[in-house]
Structure formats: C-alpha cells, structure tokens
Chains A and B, each alone.
Chain A
Amino acid sequence: MNDAIVLQGLTKYYGSLLAVDHASLNIEEGEVFGFLGPNGAGKTTTIRMLVGLTTPSEGTASVAGYDIKKNLVEVKRRVGVVPETSNLYDELSVWDNLLFSSCLYHVPRNERADRIRGLLETFNLKERQSTKFGKLSKGLKRRVVIAAALVHRPRIVFMDEPTSGLDVVSALSLRRLVRELRREDTTVFLTTHYIEEADQLSDRVAIIVEGKIVVVDTPENIKQSFRGVPILEACLSQVPDESMMHEMEPVGIVEFKGNRVRFEAENLTEALESLIRLASQRGIQVTDVNTLQPSLEEAFVGLTGVSPESMKIEKERRR
C-alpha cells in the first residue's frame, strides 16, 4: 500500500511560539487517520501546512506523492479541504457555491452539472439547491462544505473538526459519510477533539499535545498500551459480604459497587473461576460478565493530562 501523506519533521513557528514540533508520520492510501488533541495543540496548523495555506518553518511533507514545497499546485489538485468554518458564500445558492468550487478545481465544464446533481443526491440537498447558503442550518452548511470539497473527486480529504458544533443527528450523518469515504478508498485526514469520534472512525490515531505528536497507533493499541491489565466487571444477584471481598484480593485489585464487582487481573480465567466459586459458596449467582477495555478517553487523559470535558468547554468558549 502506498503512502498518501508523509510528514517529515514538519515544523511551524509563529514568532517564538512552536505550534507544530517536528511532526513525522506516514498515512496510507485509503486510511482514515484521526488527529486528536486539545485546543491549540497544532491540529489545524498541521492541516494548513499540508494544504498550502501556511508555509512550514522547517521539515517537509508529501501529499499524494507530491512535495508540498515544490509541487503545491499538484497537491492542491488532488485534495479536498473541509475547514472548521463553513466558509462558502452566504449570498450564493447551494448550487452556485458548488458550481464555483467545481470551477476553482477545473472540473470539466460538461461534467459539472452531473457531478453537482450527484452530490446533491448523496447529501440530501436536492430540495435546497436554490437556497442561499446563508439561510441554511449549521448541519446543512457542513454538508454543502463537504460536498464542495468532493466535487473534484479528490483521493485525499482533509477535514478539520467536521462535526464540531453540530447536533447529534447531523454529527452521526457526517460520521456515516466518513465511513462511506473509507469504503471508496478515499484517504481521510481528520482532526477532532471528540475522542469517541476518533475512536469510532479512525483506522489509526495520532495524539498531538502542544505541537508534539506523542503517539501514533490504532485506537485499540493505544488503549491496550496505556493499561495492559484487563478489567473484568461482573454483576451478582445480590450484594456480597465483606468476607467475599477479602477472599477475592489475592486474585487482583477488586472494587465492589453494590452488586457489581470490578477487578483488574493478569489471569482473567483464574479470577472468574475464583469469583464463581466464592459467589456459589454464598448462594450468589453471577448474572453478567463483561471485559472492560481501557477507553481511548482514559488513554488520552493519561497521555495529555487534559480532560475531554475541559476540551469541550474551551471549544465552546472560543466559539
């Protein structure tokens, strides 16, 4: 599999502020790559460098096989950009905005109308094609912006916080779209501060903090590497007595909450056998058992020291 995007020591200074600190990574063709980090971490700056909106201070990158410093026009021809702001023209209709985008990206004149109709169909915008962009809801605006980014059929799409500020239904709809793009082998580079979104959508995730990439891996590996010991949670038919808690202790770290028992254990089989034996000795039944993986949220907080709640509050405040 070829690499769609390669970063090599990509760095950006704003004066003395180091916004992106020697970022290096490879993203394969057809991959959905999540770039996760708190506000001000350098996510948007990284995208801006890759699409030519900002010049890197050091380092380089290649997108679709073209160097961003030497062949920027070729890069721009092959990528679609969905910025964080829905930056289309309020005074133009949905159709006219898409038509203008198709012209900017040199879509052949005889193909423009068909492509736009196809996109309007895909994004359920057919009824709104004559509506001025400024009159649309936030969710509809995002759909039009994404449609505008896809009008020239790019193989790589950069999405900067695509679901930020959207209601639940619109956000779900956009996430379905990202999955659809993956099915079509489109490479998607998306930045987000929603950990769950990165977890659900991304093949791999990079966590960036204060301009530095701290980890690049699949969400599963990140979770596993953060806490290697699995957690088992069992539901009992009644609240156990204290003696049962003491007898469970050699098995691992045990926590009882009412009739739910949660324990971390190196050997889950031994722990489960011990639990069932001790419970049945007391006439207690085990009604449910779950293996709990460490969440990406826990891994993120552990790696960055930033809580998802504080990220959301900061995002709302800046809006």
Chain B
Amino acid sequence: MRWDRLARELKVTWAIATKDMKIYYLRTPSLMFGILFPFSMFLSFVIGRNMPISQAIPILVAQTVFFAASTIGPVSIPMERRLQTFDRFLSAPVSLLTVLLGKTIAGFIYGVGISLIPIAMGLSFFDSQVTDLSALAIGMALSAFGFAAMGIMFASLPGQGPGEVMMPLNFVRIPLLFVSGVYVPVKELPSWGQIASAASPLTHTIELIRLGLGGDSFFGLGFNVIILTFYVIVFLLAGMRFHILNQKRE
C-alpha cells in the first residue's frame, strides 16, 4: 500500500517536473536570470585577463549550475500563484512535498542541462579534461538539486511575480559569488574569508567541479560532499516549512 502511494506520488512529481520544463524553461526570466546572468558575469570577469581555460571553465560551470538551477522555482511558483494554477495542486490529492519536489526536479534538470554546455565546449574546443568523473557528477548533481531547492525556498516569499522573488534571491546569490572561491581562490582568501567560504554551498560546488576537471579542492572531496548534502536537506526542509506557513496564512 505504502509503495503504491509512493509510486503514485513519484509519478505526479515527474508530471509536474515535465510540465514545468515545457512551460518555464524558455520564459524570459528563466533565460535572463538562468543563462544570460551567469554567462555575462563570467565574461565580464575573464575578458581582459589571461586566464587559462582550465581555470575558466570550472568558474563558468559553477556559476551556470548555481544560477540556472535556482531560477526555475522563483519563475514558476510566483507565476502559478498569480494565475491561480498553483491552487490546482493544493486542491488535488497530492502532498505539498510532491509538488515542491516536482518543481525542484525541473530546476535540477535545467541547472545540469545548461551547465553541460560549457563542459562540452571545454572538452570539444579547448583542452579541458575530465579527470575525476565521480567528483564532477556528484558535484553537479548535489549542487543542481541543492540550488533548485534554494530557489523553491525563496519562492515561498509572498509575491505575485518572478521579479519580486528574484530581487531578494539575487541579494543572496551575487554576494555568494565573492565569498565562494569563484573569482578569488579559497587559498588566497584571508582566514575569515576562508571560514565564510566553508559555509557557502557554492564553494563546494566549484571545488568539486575543479576536482572533476583536473584541479584541486581546498577543503577536500569528503567535506565538499558533506556540506552540499547538508544544504540540499536544509533547503528542501526549509522550503517545505515556508510554503506550509504560507498556506496557513491563506
């Protein structure tokens, strides 16, 4: 009985994810905040510097998975609330966790899919090499899932449009770029910066991606995985909690 119910909920999760993929992937806010943003920031960082491709590609991949995965939730949920399609989920016999998981998976697939592009470019046209596939795969998967859940968490903020959710989300996303070893390697940060960096999920994303593409990790693979897993759980649980609180306010 329980397995039947779990199977039913998973099918609904997947249906929600595929529906979101069809509707929200090519929306302007998704393209703008999920793709244009990270690529523009990357280009503004690397243009004019003599940065080797082996250093640049991990930065671009990390930024892309960070922004792309965390964008779909804040686009889809406020739009659905405004158009009242979110009420369909709430009046259907499916749990809120099922709904939020479905939306998280949509963000996850977007994050992984878009960030495969710079990896493919690096492997095809430049001298990038995948030296540790498991580190790269785990890093991308945990990061995409965690950041997608982060986006869902922020989407619980009251607001009728993606812009109203994107603003506070970007207040968090952009500063994180500067304390996460993206632009300045962790080993070159002051000690307080290294402590802050250890607490940032994005640090561990870029470290795992660097490990996967021939670089190294300041904190070590084990610590990277533990912290990212911790954030996946925290963002998922917090997102559920905030959405339930929102519901109770209705």
Contacts and interface: CB of A to CB of B under 8 A. Distances in A.
B87 to A, nearest CB: 6
B94 A104 contact: yes
B187 interface: no
A50 to B, nearest CB: 10
B80 to A, nearest CB: 9
Interface of B, secondary structure class, is helix
A277 interface: no
A87 B23 contact: no
A91 B250 CA distance: 27
A51 B11 contact: no
A88 B91 contact: no
A88 B95 CA distance: 19
A89 B85 contact: yes
B84 A87 contact: yes
Interface in A83-136: 83, 85, 87-89, 91-92, 100-101, 103-106
Contact of A54 (B15, B88, B95, B250): B250
A52 B91 contact: yes
A301 to B, nearest CB: 32
A79 B94 CA distance: 13
Contact of A100 (B15, B90, B93, B250): B15
Contact of B8 (A76, A100, A106): A106
Given A104-B94, A105-B93, 7 more contacts: A52-B91, A55-B250, A87-B84, A92-B22, A104-B92, A105-B92, A106-B93
Contacts of A104: 12, 15, 88-89, 92-94
Contacts of A79: 91
A83 B84 contact: yes
- Of the candidates B91, B94, B248, the one having the most CB atoms from chain A within 10 angstroms of its own CB is B91
A81 interface: yes
B83 interface: yes
A28 B22 CA distance: 42
A100 B88 CA distance: 10
B85 A88 contact: yes
16 contacts: A48-B250, A53-B91, A55-B247, A76-B93, A77-B93, A81-B91, A83-B87, A87-B84, A88-B85, A89-B19, A92-B23, A100-B19, A103-B12, A104-B15, A104-B89, A105-B92
Interface residues of B, number: 22
Contacts of B23: 89, 91-92
A73 interface: yes
A262 B110 CA distance: 74
Contacts of B250: 48, 53-55
Interface of A: 48, 51-55, 73-74, 76-77, 79, 81, 83, 85, 87-89, 91-92, 100-101, 103-106
Q: Nearest 8 pairs between A and B by C-beta? A: A76-B93, A104-B92, A87-B84, A103-B15, A77-B93, A51-B91, A91-B23, A81-B91
B101 to A, nearest CB: 14
B154 to A, nearest CB: 23
Contacts of B19: 89, 92, 100
Nearest to B87: A53
A85 B89 CA distance: 15
Contacts of A85: 83-84
Contacts of A89: 19, 23, 85
A87 B15 contact: no
A81 B91 CA distance: 8
A54 B247 CA distance: 7
A214 B8 CA distance: 43
